[in-house]
Copies of this chain bind each other. A is one copy, B any other.
Amino acid sequence: MKNGRISFRVIKEELARRIAERVWAPGTLIPGEEVLAREFGAARATVNRALQELARSGLVERRRKSGTRVALHPLREARFVIPIVGNEITARGAEYRYRLLSRTIDRPPEVIAARLGLSLSELVLHVRCLHLADGAPYQFEDRWINLTAVPAARQESFETIGPNEWLVTHAPFSDAEFTFMAAAANEEEARLLDVSAGAPLFVGERITWLKEKPITLVRMAHPGTHRMVTRL
């Protein structure tokens, strides 16, 4: 740590404590940055950083002129790391295997074109594959790649490398949208994931863009036993 200087972490912790212990009740206007800076013997910038982090985590709400007040509903946010499926599996100490199921180039179905914002005449690469952990089905990946945006994907067979890993190094993105949901396994998913038809699946969907230009849409289905965990 440090000598006499006050860290923004210390200030943040202390302010969080006062909020948690109701020294400052929800809705309370807390002292301004100047005042707190004097109280803690720190520069205003230091207090500012502490308060900004508290605001980012939803504990306080800040408005110019009005000041900073304790949030009425601590609408905290949770942060999930979006892992590469292979890493996720090996990180658990399991053996990772990959199997390509199909790879075709065609015009997109209407649903897919609509989701990606493509015209029906643009070509897309459709890849379906399976990720296994210690031999057991872990994730069924169903992916559409916009060949207009990523023409190089045409040359890749995806027989040994998964589309995710390939895209990471060949097609950067600037924006992404994630959706998580539950769904019932259809016949094929049931067979591939080794569950019974109609069984619940945990499904993640991701669309990525590079500056408005759609790159890829992927649907990742896990058996219902899958857990997505985070802590804050």
Contacts and interface: CB of A to CB of B under 8 A. Distances in A.
Given A75-B81, A84-B75, A232 B175 contact: yes
A78 B176 CA distance: 9
Contacts of A80: 77-80
28 contacts: A19-B172, A20-B172, A20-B173, A20-B210, A22-B172, A26-B168, A58-B81, A74-B168, A75-B82, A76-B176, A77-B81, A79-B80, A175-B232, A177-B229, A177-B231, A177-B232, A178-B231, A180-B180, A180-B202, A181-B202, A181-B225, A182-B182, A182-B183, A182-B201, A182-B226, A184-B199, A184-B200, A198-B198
A39 interface: no
A137 interface: no
A104 interface: no
Interface of A: 16, 19-22, 26, 58, 72-84, 87, 168-169, 172-184, 198-203, 210-211, 222, 224-232
A174 B168 CA distance: 36
Contact of A200 (B73, B79, B179, B183): B183
A146 B219 CA distance: 39
Contacts of A184: 199-200, 224
A54 to B, nearest CB: 12
A228 B180 contact: yes
A46 B177 CA distance: 29
Contacts of A172: 19-22, 74
A78 B75 contact: no
Contacts of A183: 182, 200, 224
A46 to B, nearest CB: 12
Contacts of A228: 179-181
A168 B73 contact: yes
A105 to B, nearest CB: 24
B224 A181 contact: yes
Given A74-B168, A77-B80, 9 more contacts: A16-B174, A20-B173, A21-B172, A58-B81, A78-B79, A79-B79, A176-B232, A177-B230, A182-B224
A22, A174, A226 interface centre (most CB from chain B within 10 Å):
A174
